[in-house]
Structure 1
Amino acid sequence: MHISTKYQNLKSNFSSTIAPLISEYNAINLADGYTGFHCNSKLIGLVEKHLREGLNQIAPFQGEMALRKKLAIKTEELYSRTYQPQTEVTITAGVQQAMFTAISALVKEGDEVIVFEPANEYCVPAIQMNGAQPVYVPMKEPDFHIDWEQVQMMINSKTRMIIINTPHNPTGWVMKEIDMLRLQRMVNGTKIVILSEETFEHIVFDEESHQSVALYPILAERSIIIASFGETYHVTGWQIGYCLAPEEIMREFRKVHQVMVQSVNSPFQLALADFLSEKEEYKGLRKFYQDRRAFFIDLMESSKFKPIVSQGSFFQLFDFSEVSEEADKDFAIRLIKDRGVAVMPISAFMHEKSKRQVVRINYAQPDEILIEAANRLKQL
């Protein structure tokens, strides 16, 4: 039977391309976005508690109220913005689902969505699958930041959404107050919605602070925040995220969410609700990952890889131009086969090949893994 192609322009992402190679060559996986650390044993105990209590039925599609309330309290404490748990907080099956749902709910065919490249691999496909047009704005090199004058020139009557991500994956760039104020001034008085991914909100380095859209009233009124518990609590495999937005926006989000995801794992939601009271767990992430960043950069100091120092997240970019003249995707594949180390080329996050020879490395791994990976890379 011949099946006609519905999405002709959609391609498999690079992660799925290299996954079989990572397995075949038993490579050290510094390419994917998971954490290599165990979560707090207390959190595991809370999951077990709720499982044993028999709280294993379908949760409300909006999410368990206990978790929504705790998220609202946390957000108000951190950013002085009140979100109503009943109408403005929704629990999702991870960030990827939250992003797809938000775009499906708020963007229609013929709309334009501004995307800053490099961008998350699942961002552009979600736009295209909803019949909208991604408008690519390249981040300014060499340090990767947003040129707001260029953004202003891209905005027109078709612009429906601007997607931001801070701390930024894959570059590790962190938006500053001046960036948020310029964005706020740019969209004020328009019909543009901001989709703000803030997964790494607690992993910001060098005395910088996380600039959530929730801090800026005019932005917050037109923004939908998506984030994840996975990176915060070392439970990336749980795939539990959340969404915060004003009621009018959240109403549209939930229309799509309800038919897309019947509910998210109930006992795990309840465990996270209990664990959110452990504030030191997320407050300690800044120092934890800043120390790991320094540790890995020190390991790589004698190599030919040159860091573009991350300002946040647990990702670090390295320039490999002194190692090879290969295109970044070809180089990444050769690293797996020849050295048994998997990294992500910057082109994996762009709609065209990057002219720069840059790869992203995930350093959220135990010491022994990073040491072995660094030793293999230093042989190049």
Structure 2
Amino acid sequence: MLQSKLPDVGTTIFTIMSRLAQEHQAINLGQGFPDFDPDPALCQLVSKAMAEGHNQYPYMTGVPPLRHAIAHKVRTLYGRTYDPDSEITVTSGATEALMAAVLACVGNGDEVVVIEPCYDSYLPAIRLAGGIPVTVPLRAPTQEDPSFRVDWQQVRDAITPRTRLIMMNFPHNPTGIILQDSDLDALENIVRDTGVLLLSDEPYEHIVFDGQHHRSVATRALLSDHAFVISSFGKTYHATGWKVGYCCAPKIMSAELRKIHQFIVFTVSSPMQFALAEYMRDPTPYLELSHFYQIRRDRLAQGLTGSRFKVLPSPGTFFLMADYREISDENEAEFSRWLTVTHGVTVIPVSAFYREPDAPQSNHQLVRFCFAKKESTLDAAIEKLQRV
């Protein structure tokens, strides 16, 4: 008889809410993907790559032009030089890179510190590797300070002799918070004292607002020497369905990740890789991405000021959180369903990103909006939300 390796994993809240949105013809600001297409020039480059014969298995580690383009970008933006041949691996989206990194370094009984709320693949990946997740919650917003914060002392206190890895994600989904220099300083002290490895999930690296900049783990030598740094072309180029990401890591760590990668997917779509490599010659699309999304963030935030929702700061990602306590005292999942069914706008409960989503400590009366949408989509949603 089949015995489940993930007995407590069912249908994700993202699938549930999207299905509910479809059933009730609601505007879906829940799942995190754009409702518009990539740059036509990028799509044409895919066709060009196909016409040029790039239709068979590419290198397991990723085609050389793309790995070199990634190395150049990371060196230019963050100052870290990765060897494109031995330290950069193209993966089937950031999610595959996460799984491969965890499986590469976590074994039975190893502990992994996870900062929560967190992306829903983290804990299952740890369990499949035989590891034990140890969650450390962000400090929740208060009236005096409306942002989530990392308590690095709590992170340090969670580390034991069995800790193998710290998993983190900045700019952070779902809260939108970004790292400051003081955060990297605190993290350096932890790594220096413990030697723990890092998995830094950075798919929103190019979506940071208000004149701030992304502080990648790759900007610090000590941190990058201990880190798998993961990102996603899907988020950067509005092509989430292409499922192309990458992982940068020191040679020894990359070698172990590649052993796992080759037996999960082996390799990644050839024409997409060649197209992305050529498209990356011009840095303008990712350098201007923050401005592109800040217009949408501000549009949604301004629209919500005319409602009973209270908008929280969103310094990064394409997500915005709002407090609904003036509207309802229901928990976040119940409120999100009610908003979809009654008012025709779908959101995601922030509690879904916690290990125990139904627990009182996981419910702060917050929901997450995705503003990676056409302006007309956002305007239609705002009109409905202002009537709540």
Pair in the same fold by TM > 0.5: yes
- The aligned counterpart of 1:188 is 192
* Aligned match of 1:22: 21
| 1:225-240 equivalences in 2 (<5 Å) | 225-240=229-244
Q: Superposition pairs for residues 238-253 of structure 1, below 5 Å?
A: 238-253=242-257
CA shift at 1:18, angstroms?
2.3
Aligned 1:268-307 pairs, distance under 5 A: 268-307=272-311
Q: CA deviation at 1:189?
A: 4.6
Candidates 247, 259, 279, aligned match of 1:255: 259
CA distance in 2, matches of 1:189, 1:112: 17
Q: Shift in Å at residue 126 of structure 1?
A: 0.8
- Percent of residue pairs identical: 40
* 1:174-217: CA deviation from partner (whole Å, max 9, x where unpaired): 01111011101111153411000111111111221111111100
Aligned to 1:373: 381
Give the counterpart of 1:333 among 329, 337, 345: 337
Deviation string 1:8-54 (CA, Å, 9 cap, x unpaired) is 23343211222322221222111101012321121111111111112
Paired amino acid for 2:82: Y
Structure-to-structure mapping, 1:21-170, within 5 angstroms: 21-142=20-141, 143-170=147-174
Count how many residue pairs are aligned between Structure 1 and Structure 2.
379
Does the CA-based 8 Å contact 2:17-2:347 persist in structure 1? no
SS of 2:82 mapped into structure 1: coil
Task: Give, as a single letter, the amino acid of the residue that structure 1 aligns with 2:198.
Answer: I
The one-letter code matched in structure 2 to 1:125 is P
What is the Cα deviation at residue 344 of structure 1? 0.5
SS in 2 for 1:113: strand
Deviates more, 1:94-103 or 1:181-190: 181-190
Amino acid at match of 2:261: H
C-alpha distance in 2 between matches for 1:80 and 1:170: 28
* Partner residue, 1:361: 369
2:205 to 201, 206, 211: 201
- Going from structure 1 to structure 2, the CA distance change for 1:6 and 1:122 (only over 3 Å counts) comes to closer
- Amino acid paired to 1:361: F
- Equivalent position to 2:221, from 207, 217, 221: 217
Report the Cα distance in structure 1 between the residues aligned to 2:59 and 2:297, rounded to whole angstroms.
39
Aligned-pair CA distance for 1:104: 0.7
Q: Which residue type is aligned with residue 259 of structure 2?
A: K
Cα 1:273–1:41 change in 2 (3 A) is same
Distance 1:350 1:369 in 2: 29
Distance 1:129 1:6 in 2: 7
Measured against aligned partners, the alpha-carbon deviations of 1:116-161 in whole angstroms (never above 9, x if no partner) come to 1110011111111211111111101201110011111111101110
Alpha-carbon distance in structure 2 between the residues aligned to 1:20 and 1:167: 28
Counterpart amino acid of 1:70? A
Q: Deviations over 1:44-102 (max 9, x none)?
A: 11111111112100111101111001100111111111101110000000011110111
Amino acid at match of 1:204: V
CA gap 1:175/1:114 in 2 versus in 1, 3 angstroms: same
Mapped to 1, the partners of 2:363 and 2:334 lie a distance apart of 13
| SS of residue in 2 equivalent to 1:116 | strand
d(CA) in 1 for partners of 2:22, 2:295 = 30
Of 312, 315, 320, 2:316 maps to: 312
For residues 103 and 289 of structure 1, what CA distance do their matches in structure 2 show?
A: 31
Runs of 4+ in 1 over 6 A off after TM superposition: none
The letter for the 1-side match of 2:374 is: P
Q: SS where residue 194 of structure 2 aligns?
A: coil
Could you tell me how far apart the structure 2 residues matched to 1:140 and 1:271 are? 42
How many angstroms apart in 2 are the aligned matches of 1:241 and 1:37? Answer: 20
CA contact (8 A) 2:18 2:346 kept: no
Change (3 A) 1:30 1:255: same
For 1:123, the aligned partner's letter is: Y
Letter in 1 for 2:304: M
The 2-side partners of 1:282 and 1:272 are apart by: 12
Counterpart secondary structure, 1:85: coil
Cα root mean square deviation, aligned: 1.2
AA aligned to 1:292 is R
Unaligned runs of 5+ in 1: none
SS where residue 264 of structure 1 aligns?
Answer: coil
Instruction: Provide the C-alpha distance between the structure 1 equivalents of 2:56 and 2:271, rounded to a whole number of angstroms.
Output: 9
